[in-house]
Structure 1
Amino acid sequence: MSFDDVLQRGEDELLSTRPRHSLSWILASQFTASTVTAFSKLILTAFYNVELKGLNHLDNAFQYAKDNNRAILTIANHMSTCDDPMLFACLPWRYFFNYDDIRWGLAASNVCFTNKISSAFFSLGRILPCERFGRGPFQPSIDACIRLLSPDNSLNLQKFTLPPPILRNKPSWVHIFPEGFVCQLKSPHENSMRYFRWGTARLVLEPTIAPVVVPIFADGFEKIRPEEIDMKTDYLTPSNIGSTITVNIGKAIDDNVIKSFRDEWKNLCNKYPNKDNNDDLSDELKFGSEARDLRSRVCDYLREQVAQLRLQNGFKEEDPRFKDVNFWKRYTLSRGNSDPDIQFVGLNWAIKEYQRHVKLYNDKGEVIGEGKSERPSNL
């Protein structure tokens, strides 16, 4: 079940902030995406061996989505700062010829949207700013993705003025890395994942029409960009030349499973309406135990689908601790002291003090300042 105010916020607070509806923006955006993809393909072809598995699953999902007026949501593990765009550079060029087919994605606002130049560049690359460290799943970037995943002709025409702030001829493709942070762990836990964050569940539950959800697991990008490199001197130098990059695309998740989750959500929406505004989420739907439990179960299920692809790539079963949200919170708060047998390559980026330009929020989600960085000077 969708809420008009959520969709409208996605338009007003993010999608309308750039001239995305203009032809000049579309041409510049497609040029940016194509140029970055071409450069990434050149790097992959020249220095690495790429193994792409399950491309037919993505082709089938795109065709099924097109035939049924549905958007595409892809989810993948996050191993490296080069996951995007390298992951998409592994796909055939046909995924970039049509502007409507180019994926939308999220990136950390404190990393990719810190000045006018980088903000314009990533915006042209169809990336939206996601704010971490306290903002939570109810923020403009998630609302915007819900709007992107909702076909234009499924909107309540009495509430929205068409055309929308983005021009498109069919529903969009949104890709996210649900862990929220790069996760590079040392042996024997390499290529394991963090828990999936709850904003992911919103993208399944809240679009006007259920998206087609496709899981992906990739490994090898952590070899291109290992976390222990010196960011000042080595960032643009390819590492571990000759390594194999494996991208494993799974089958689209069963529609019946998605429908079951969305039916639960609809029942909760009917049970806990916003008595002051029927067009928006109530506090119970945001913070209530039943809604939180549903979002947690959706994320657990999606994570398991990606984890199955990890096993197909030849890795052993993950340590069961990695599935537990409470483990990661405890581990991060203690800076690893709670479980010293688990060590990161480089830094655990979920520690707020290691990152620059981090905004601080109060309980109402209002910005109250900017955090200080304690990270090593060579990063």
Structure 2
Amino acid sequence: MNNSKLYILFVLDILKTNKKGLSPIRCRLTYQQKRKVFSISLNVNPKKWNSKLQKMKSTDKDCNYVNNQLSLIKSKINQAFLYLQMNEKQFDVEDIYIQYSGDHTRKIKYLLEVFDIHNQRFLKLVGKEYSMSTYIKLKEARKHTYEFIKFKFNKNDILLESIKLNFIDDFDFYLKTEKNHKQITINKTIQRLKKIIKLALGEGYLSRDPFILYHPKRVEKKIVYLTKEELTELENHKFIQKRIQQVADMFIFCCYTGLAYNEMASLESSHIHKGFDGNDWIKMTRKKTKREISIPLLAKSKEILAKYQESENLKLLPIISNQKFNSYLKEISDVIGFEKNLTHHVARKTFATTILLYNDIPMEIVSELLGHSKISTTQESYAKVVQSKVSEHIKELNTKLTSEK
């Protein structure tokens, strides 16, 4: 229950005294240092008004009627205030007036309310436009936002209009110090919060954008991938345990196709099509972005599929959970002596770098093969790889020009 006190004051609007010498009474509510003034449709003679006692001085019939009305209005306001104290997690003076007046077409004004509206809409699109994993990340962002509000303000929610740039900066600091999140994770959480603010602005719940001067802290992205030599070493190594060899084969397959775990795990013969060039292509929808992807089957990837074609499963590759897959990759890394932490995602990065970019495949084609929704995603991730490749070309050019002299 909110323990802040509500102040109710009736005041005369002398400036609007009519020709009969009567002035309108206005009610002024003050709560948490905010005011709400409104008309109560009562006009009185200022000479008969006692501001200290908050009622008419005279006992004539008209004055008794006004005093009774004032008492009823005050009682209704107190009832509305009590109702909000018992039922609302947080409210302001405008909410008290709305509850009193009976106009419940209240505009959404709280951050987590908008978060819930957004997430409820999003949930209905899961499986149609978005994946469940993206929805789960939005729920996590909502949870972190709630915990920050509770930590910082000891409240269950916060008014949208009270959100300023320092709220975002403080949220960043909280996630870093209290949650021990890395900056890249913090940036993602704040990016999801920004979507909620954008919705609030679009719906008219918020009049100004607190993100207008916000710039996310830069994160140095380090792309972990296998070099040509490391990939060759992995391909040539024969593992004694069958389960380890299977995971190694599937990892290598993804190094030559760039498939994410979900697509690799669901790959079936129906996804293999003969292309216009006479080659076999993988054609399927990427679950994360809902984009159609077409990936040519290179010789090594065909070789691995052929190895498992006798399987009784509908899937073209052995079935294994993502968790176990990454666990076995750690064993593979230890056996071979890689210092890199192998995960399934490293195979996807290897496809983009060692297989494509280092073989002069243009960035636009790399983005298309990876199934990225925007080429900027590819550019941000692989800009340094491209710079390194450019540097190699410049060295070759420099050597060539020098030898020609």
Indicate whether the TM-score tops 0.5: no
* TM class, shorter-length: under 0.3
Which protein has the bigger helix share? 2
Task: Work out which of the two has the higher radius of gyration on C-alpha atoms and give 1 or 2.
Answer: 2
The TM-score normalised by the length of structure 1 is: 0.21
The TM-score normalised by the length of structure 2 is: 0.20
